[in-house]
Amino acid sequence: MAEFWEQLLIAVPDELLCRTVDSSRRCPSGWQNFGSSCFSFSRESRSWGGARDACAKFGAHLVVLSSEKEQVFVMENLQGNNSYWLGVKIRHREGNWVWVNGEKPNFGFWDVWEKDPERSQKECGAMKPGGRWVNEKCSRELRWICEKPWDC
């Protein structure tokens, strides 16, 4: 009988097995599952580069928001009155915002009404409480959000 189950498991594609895994087991302890990604919300603060490096240690990257549903998920999980680094930065050559995965944002929640005389010196993107995106100096220390595909 055990041989039958071994043969059945070999014949079932990994993708199908992954779909049967309970969503609470897809992400490492302390990470939250949403869609096909795991998210970690830091409790400490670092510069944008320091936050990027902290995510890389976990095989992750700063969060890349690819849908409005993901935006809402992230916004609902912000802790307290804190701003968080996003994985978006101005690319100098073009002057456009680009995610850490090389894609250009296909939507945004930029706080366009914020008046800021130092805006041109703020080349990294962050999310304020309430979910609005803002420009920040990359050297400023903020909390951050890591994202990585879930494992099964």
- Report the Cα 140 to chain-centroid distance in Å: 19
Whether 58 maps to a domain, the answer reads: yes
Whether 63 maps to a domain, the answer reads: yes
Domain limits for position 128: 44-112+120-152
Whether 27 maps to a domain, the answer reads: no
For residue 14, what pLDDT is reported?
Answer: 44
Here the CATH number for the domain that contains residue 59 is: 3.10.100.10
Mean pLDDT of 27-47: 95
At which residue do the structure tokens 């041109």 appear? 120
Whether 23 maps to a domain, the answer reads: no
Mean pLDDT of 54-82: 95
Does position 122 have pLDDT exceeding 50, yes or no? yes
Token pair of 73 as six digits: 């998920």
Instruction: Give residues with Cβ within 8 angstroms of 22, minimum separation 6.
Output: none
For residue 26, what pLDDT is reported?
Answer: 79
Residue 109's pLDDT band (boundaries 50, 70, 90)? confident
Question: What's the structural domain count of the chain?
Answer: 1
Whether 141 maps to a domain, the answer reads: yes
Whether 14 maps to a domain, the answer reads: no
Whether 59 maps to a domain, the answer reads: yes
- Whether 124 and 138 have beta carbons less than 8 Å apart is answered as yes
Whether 82 maps to a domain, the answer reads: yes
pTM above 0.85, yes or no: no
Residue 63's pLDDT band (boundaries 50, 70, 90)? very high
Task: For residue 108, give the nearest of 81, 141, 135 by alpha carbon.
Answer: 135
